[in-house]
Structure 1
């Protein structure tokens, strides 16, 4: 019986090694933090905003981008136009009480450069999660709601970072047309 177990574990080890080699060969790699194309950025979030705090922390960890205390000297300006959280009744039980809710987290923002030229038009990101509700589990459901909003906030930060990273990438790939001097007609 021990010989059989040895051959099974050896086979598993070999298959694991082959699968790992195949993953490496296909170019698979974990998504790292987004590299922002800006040297400096100014965020218009309120200082007490949890989303702004998490976004600042992620920008600092992403590379060489400095977060400026004011718009002066910033290469990019991220303007928050709206940030809302909403809780909507999704379903009702037989007594007419809410039994399921849909949680929404919406952020609308735009990005401008130092000359106030719009780099990213106003963009709305909407995240949603559903949560069941039971009156007998009031405290645990409110704690679950807080955790879901925190999870959506983390997802929101990652989506904003991906959009910021794509701004200059898209501009850099567009061909630049050299300016041609126009000679006045004689």
Structure 2
């Protein structure tokens, strides 16, 4: 009986070790701080913008500084559009809403201090589907708010990836201005 327990424990440890080895072999790694191509950036968000606050926090976590004046920044992010929308997807047999599609649309561009476009106007559209039940109105409102927060976090990560990807454009531009 004791030997069976030891064999079972050994097989569990072996399985966990194998899983750990498989995870490291697949190339999986945690997303770290963004490798941004600038040291300072000006964000053209409204002061009370939730997206702006979260983006600022993520940029500062990556080692860059968000400045209050566009003249002091190496990059200038301009918000061209930022909107949320909700559209009816399906109706039940009584003509009542069963599903909504939630949208967040965001358009931005990035320029350098001279006004040269580093990232041309870029649109990001996020979509989530939510079922609706009029008998659970409060719960569905909370779920909708949670989905919008999730879309906001996804939006910030996409903006950061695009900023990090602009590294080659900024490096090329700096090389041209130095020569």
TM-score, length-normalised on structure 2?
A: 0.91
Structure 2 segments unaligned to the other structure (5+ residues): none
Deviation at 1:22, TM superposition (A): 4.3
- Report the structure, 1 or 2, having the larger helix content: 2
Residues 115-134 of structure 1 correspond to what in structure 2 (within 5 A)? 115-134=114-133
Residues 7-156 of structure 1 correspond to what in structure 2 (within 5 A)? 7-25=7-25, 27-63=27-63, 65-156=64-155
Matched residues in 1 for 2:131 and 2:139: separation?
Answer: 11
Task: Give the total of aligned pairs.
Answer: 177
Moved over 3 A (4+): 21-28, 169-174
TM-score, length-normalised on structure 1?
A: 0.87
Matched residues in 2 for 1:29 and 1:143: separation?
Answer: 32
Q: Secondary structure at the match of 1:29?
A: coil
Note the aligned Cα RMSD (angstroms): 2.2
Structure 1 segments unaligned to the other structure (5+ residues): 181-186
Matched residues in 1 for 2:112 and 2:169: separation?
Answer: 15
Deviation per CA, 1:7-29, whole angstroms, max 9, x where unpaired?
12202212322332344355542
Structure (1 or 2) with the larger CA radius of gyration: 1
Matched residues in 2 for 1:170 and 1:115: separation?
Answer: 14
